Amino acid sequence: MGKLSDKLRLTFAVSTVVCVLVLAISPLKDFRAEWKHYKRWFVKYAQTRPDTKKLLADYSPSIDQVWLPGMNVTDRCTTCHQGITQLSLADASVPQPFRAHPPVPHNVRQWGCTICHRGQGPATEVAEAHETTLAWEQPILPAHFLEASCGTCHQAILKETPQLARGLELLTHLNCQGCHKLNNLDRPTLGPDLSSVGYKVTREWIYKWLKEPRTILDKDGNVTVNGYENEIEPRMPKFRLKEEEIRALSAFLSIQKARQIEKYSISPSVLAALSKKPDLVSQGEVRFRQMMCTTCHSLAVTRAGETKMIGGEIGPELTKVGSKVNEEWLIAWLRNPKSYLEHSNMPRYGWSDEDLYKVSQYVMNKLTDSDLLTNVPQLGAATEEETKTGKRLFAEKGCASCHALGGIAPQKDFGPDLTALGAKNASELEFSKAKIEHNLVSYIQAKLQDPVSVNPAARMPQYNWEQADLDAVTAALLSQRGPAPTSALQHLVVSRPEPAFQPVGAFAQVYERYKCYACHRFNGYGGTLAPDLSYEGSRAQKKWIADFLKNPQTIRPTLILRMPQFNMSDQDAAIAAEYLSLAVQKPDVDPASVDARQFTPAMVSLGKQLYEVKYQCQSCHTIGGTGGYVGPNLNNAGNWLTPAWVEAWLRNPQALQLNAIDPRRNFTEEEIRALTAYLMTLKSDIKPQTSASAANARLTGQGAGR
Partner 1 sequence: MRSKLMLIGLFVGSVLCVLAISGCKRGAAAVSPEAAFGAYDTEPDWNDSTKLVNLGYQESQGKRVFYLYCVWCHADATPAGPSNRSNLTPTPPLLNDGEKLNPESDEFMQNIITLGGSALGKSAMMPPYGKTLSTQEITAAIAFTRAIAQPPYEKKVRPESPNATKE
- 504 near partner 1, rule: CB under 8 A: no
Q: How far apart are CA 531 and CA 513, in angstroms?
A: 19
Q: Which of 1, 22, 272, 504 binds partner 1 (CB under 8 A)?
A: 22
Site string for partner 1, 101-130 (x = CB under 8 A): -xxx--------------------xxxx-x
Contact region with partner 1 (CB under 8 A), list: 225-233, 250-258, 553-561, 597-605 = 553-561
Contact region with partner 1 (CB under 8 A), list: 25-33, 391-399, 505-513, 593-601 = 25-33
Give min distance, CB of 22 to partner 1, in A: 7
- 701 near partner 1, rule: CB under 8 A: no
Of 315 and 628, nearer to partner 1 (C-beta) is 628
Please check whether residue 188 is in contact with residue 179, taking contact to mean a CB–CB distance below 8 angstroms.
no
- 578 near partner 1, rule: CB under 8 A: no
- 34 near partner 1, rule: CB under 8 A: yes
Contact region with partner 1 (CB under 8 A), list: 28-36, 263-271, 325-333, 483-491 = 28-36
DSSP SS3 for 131:
coil
With CB under 8 A as the rule, give the number of residues binding partner 1. 61
Of 67 and 629, nearer to partner 1 (C-beta) is 629
> What pairing do the DSSP bridges indicate for beta strands 626-627 and 521-522?
unpaired
- 14 near partner 1, rule: CB under 8 A: yes
Contact region with partner 1 (CB under 8 A), list: 166-174, 288-296, 494-502, 647-655 = 647-655
- 49 near partner 1, rule: CB under 8 A: no
Of 451 and 653, nearer to partner 1 (C-beta) is 653
Q: Which of 269, 666, 668, 693 binds partner 1 (CB under 8 A)?
A: 666
Give min distance, CB of 555 to partner 1, in A: 13
Please check whether residue 150 is in contact with residue 304, taking contact to mean a CB–CB distance below 8 angstroms.
no
Please check whether residue 351 is in contact with residue 567, taking contact to mean a CB–CB distance below 8 angstroms.
yes
Contact region with partner 1 (CB under 8 A), list: 52-60, 239-247, 520-528, 653-661 = 653-661
- 17 near partner 1, rule: CB under 8 A: yes
DSSP 640-700: HB-HHHHHHHHH-HHHHSTT--SPP----HHHHHHHHHHHHT---------SHHHHHHHHH
Q: How far apart are CA 172 and CA 617, in angstroms?
A: 40
Task: Return all residues near 668 (Cβ < 8 A) that are at least 6 apart.
Answer: none
Contact region with partner 1 (CB under 8 A), list: 94-102, 338-346, 347-355, 444-452 = 94-102
Please check whether residue 552 is in contact with residue 531, taking contact to mean a CB–CB distance below 8 angstroms.
no
- 13 near partner 1, rule: CB under 8 A: yes
Go through the chain and tell me how many residues it has. 706
Give min distance, CB of 478 to partner 1, in A: 14
Q: Which of 614, 669, 688, 691 binds partner 1 (CB under 8 A)?
A: 614
Give min distance, CB of 391 to partner 1, in A: 46
Sign of the alpha-carbon torsion through 552, 555, 556, 557: positive
Please check whether residue 340 is in contact with residue 260, taking contact to mean a CB–CB distance below 8 angstroms.
no
Give min distance, CB of 705 to partner 1, in A: 5
Burial of 143 (0-12, 13-18, 19+ CB in 10 A): exposed
Nearest partner of 239 among 462, 86, 544, 485, judged by Cα: 462
Nearest partner of 361 among 274, 464, 447, judged by Cα: 274
Q: What is the CA radius of gyration of the chain?
A: 33
Of 236 and 440, nearer to partner 1 (C-beta) is 440
Nearest partner of 391 among 249, 224, 190, 507, judged by Cα: 249
Nearest partner of 117 among 137, 139, 101, 102, judged by Cα: 139
Q: Which of 60, 96, 265, 693 binds partner 1 (CB under 8 A)?
A: 96
- 29 near partner 1, rule: CB under 8 A: yes
- 8 near partner 1, rule: CB under 8 A: no
Give min distance, CB of 13 to partner 1, in A: 6
Question: Of residues 583-612, which lie at the interface with partner 1 (CB under 8 A)?
Answer: none
Q: How far apart are CA 402 and CA 461, in angstroms?
A: 13
Q: Which of 217, 271, 582, 661 binds partner 1 (CB under 8 A)?
A: 661
Of 130 and 348, nearer to partner 1 (C-beta) is 130
Q: How far apart are CA 144 and CA 305, in angstroms?
A: 39
Between CA 524 and CA 533, with CA 530 as vertex, the angle to 5 degrees is: 50
Between CA 647 and CA 654, with CA 651 as vertex, the angle to 5 degrees is: 110
Q: How far apart are CA 208 and CA 372, in angstroms?
A: 8
Give min distance, CB of 502 to partner 1, in A: 30
- 6 near partner 1, rule: CB under 8 A: yes
Angle at which helices 203-211 and 243-254 cross, to 10°: 140
Contact region with partner 1 (CB under 8 A), list: 97-105, 195-203, 370-378, 682-690 = 97-105
Q: Which helix (H) or strand (E) holds 327?
A: helix 327-335
Q: Which helix (H) or strand (E) holds 66?
A: strand 66-68
- 616 near partner 1, rule: CB under 8 A: yes
- 97 near partner 1, rule: CB under 8 A: yes
**94: how many CB neighbours lie within 10 A of its CB?**
16
- 619 near partner 1, rule: CB under 8 A: yes
Of 35 and 357, nearer to partner 1 (C-beta) is 35
- 158 near partner 1, rule: CB under 8 A: no
- 658 near partner 1, rule: CB under 8 A: no
Angle at which helices 601-609 and 669-680 cross, to 10°: 100
- 318 near partner 1, rule: CB under 8 A: no
Residue 164's φ and ψ, nearest 5 degrees, are -65, -40
Task: Return all residues near 62 (Cβ < 8 A) that are at least 6 apart.
Answer: none
**What is the greatest pairwise CA distance in the chain?**
137
Contact region with partner 1 (CB under 8 A), list: 12-20, 41-49, 217-225, 304-312 = 12-20
- 140 near partner 1, rule: CB under 8 A: yes
Q: Which of 58, 160, 212, 417 binds partner 1 (CB under 8 A)?
A: 160
Question: Of residues 252-311, which lie at the interface with partner 1 (CB under 8 A)?
Answer: none
- The DSSP secondary-structure symbol of 497 reads P
Give min distance, CB of 307 to partner 1, in A: 18
Contact region with partner 1 (CB under 8 A), list: 60-68, 137-145, 218-226, 302-310 = 137-145
Q: How far apart are CA 151 and CA 425, in angstroms?
A: 19
Residues found near partner 1 in the complex (CB under 8 A): 6, 10, 13-15, 17-18, 21-22, 24-25, 28-29, 32-34, 92, 96-97, 102-104, 125-128, 130-131, 140, 142-144, 146, 159-160, 162-163, 556, 558-560, 614-616, 619-620, 627-630, 652-654, 659, 661, 663-666, 705-706
